[in-house]
Chains A and B, each alone.
Chain A
Amino acid sequence: MPPGSLALLAQGAVVSLLLAAAAIVGGTLLAVLLAAIAFSRFAAVRAVYRVYVYVVRGTPLLVLALLLFYAMPALDLRTGPYIAGTLVLIVYAGALFAEVFRGGVLAIPRPQWESARSLGLPPLAMFRKIVAPLVTRYTLPPYVNVCVMSVKASSVLSIISVWELTLAAREIIERTFAVFTILGVAAAFYFVMCFGIDRLGRLLERHLALKGFAGERA
């Protein structure tokens, strides 16, 4: 393997992980907001949610990134590739997380809602003590799935010149032509990151299930 390339690829992997982390944190926050909008009393507000999710899920991530990166100067925003890329990932992950949360809330059986309401708890307490724990357990697998998708999505940002693992690999290849080796190592880095997140998620799932909640086996 060309000298120094392992170090560069490792750095790239760290950047990819950071981008994914930003997408996950930002996306989750955005998704909580979106999910609240999704269950609003007003049909017009719910429509905003549906349009947002439709557009973000119906357009390729690359097109969203290019749109933000090349068209944003028109809005006078000082976007370099990194800011534009992170914003796009947050927008994208936000939509996916919102759908996961919405699905989780909808999956709560009716009897649970009724018994929760019959307890007479104020809405915030009801959310904290009943809705949130249930939704967490129902949505953990798809949530982890979106986290893995965020890591893979960061590779698309290489096309708008965000320096991360895929771009690092491309740059090394274009200098040294060791295509198979470098792409193999890059794939290995991605695999470790994604598989790792997946396993962590499963561990978390099992840990939460042990607490014996919502009919899960202890």
Chain B
Amino acid sequence: MANDKTPIVAALAAATCALLGSSLPDPVQAQEEPKWDFNTALLYYGEDNDRVQDLSLNILARRNFVDDRFLTAGLTVDALTGASPNGALPQSVAQTFTQPSGGRTYTISPEEIPTDDTFRDSRVAVNVNWQQPLGRLYQLNVGASASAEYDYVHTGLNARISRDFNQKNTTLSAGLALARDTLDPVGGVPLALTPMRLADRGDDDDDEGGGGMSANGWSSKESKDVLDVVFGLTQVVSRNFLFQANYSFSDASGYLNDPYKILSVVDGVTGDAVPLVPDPVFDGPSHLYLYEHRPDERVKHSLYLQGKYNMAGKVLDLSYRYMSDDWEIDSHTLEARYRWPVGRSSYLEPHLRYYTQTEASFYTPSIVDGAPLPGYASADYRLGNFDAFTVGLKYGWTTNSGNDASVRLELYQQLGDIPSQQLIGNQLGRDNYPDLNAIILQFGYRFGL
């Protein structure tokens, strides 16, 4: 009799496992699924007026192991070129600036927003991630990331733990990420709020290297540390609806300036940039410009809400993010995606995004000549008041071989607004904010091995 009981217990256990197993949301569990899943994308990002262009190749590989364990590894390679606004205001006369390398100068035509077109970089980024269950209800996720550019190196570690409740309908998670980034700017790290350098370093485009200080008191390297903490809640509401709510805290400390950004020093009445007497030996800036200066700490809080709703096969994805930081920047981001099946194996997905931010407390379009220098000042357009809009459309289909392919085209536009009380004299009649129009074109292909 004792021997007869065992198969019943085993059968009950198997049935229970099958039932519990069926509650797992991830379809990758099926034994027929491939061991490796590759998610690849080629992205072109291009701004108008010969500003930043980026060609980006991305591969994300994911391998499943027994017992719901996953290894994920990602590689991104970017090739970047183009011009970027340097922070100076447009003028009615031509303006000359020293390249960051200190080797040459470049000149901007009257009424044009000054941009530095020497920007050219490549970037390689890698990340690895390991995910596994801890017992029946917990899930652990640990990862590392690194990226390198000519003048910038990032290294980071992250970990996240989550716990399921309420028959896996509720999941709470907590995550921590630490990053150490090192900047090694072309030409060295400028001293904050000091005049733009002369082109006194010949045609040598290399940075000084070797660490330490150069003769002008500039260091060659700086670093910053970033701590991120995220608490999340995911809730299944019904068979067709789930949502997520995340609170994030971020603390960045160290060198937070952009070493390539400057501000125009202007006359307090006319608002025009203060011209300089040319140096008898070296080329150099035509007007007085100062390197920017930001606080060496920034604390951000953000709240992110996302809901997904399935309406008879059509999926609406809505999200909202509120961000507030101690630089007095507040931002709101609203995003919507609507996935619309077309036929049996393809879909269309329109995408809308709206973003708005207030300016940093130390954002200023210019510094008045003769007035006491502010403690912090930046004219970086990304710290100003602006709204941004994204409109996009994605088309995805399943290929004859059963793999997923997609193409998406999006337009991104930034419209800035410098409050008139921050503008002086002739600045009021000029177009001072470097509005941005960009195109995003992406091809995606996902396959298994």
Mutual binders A and B: no
Residues of A at under 8 Å CB distance from B? none
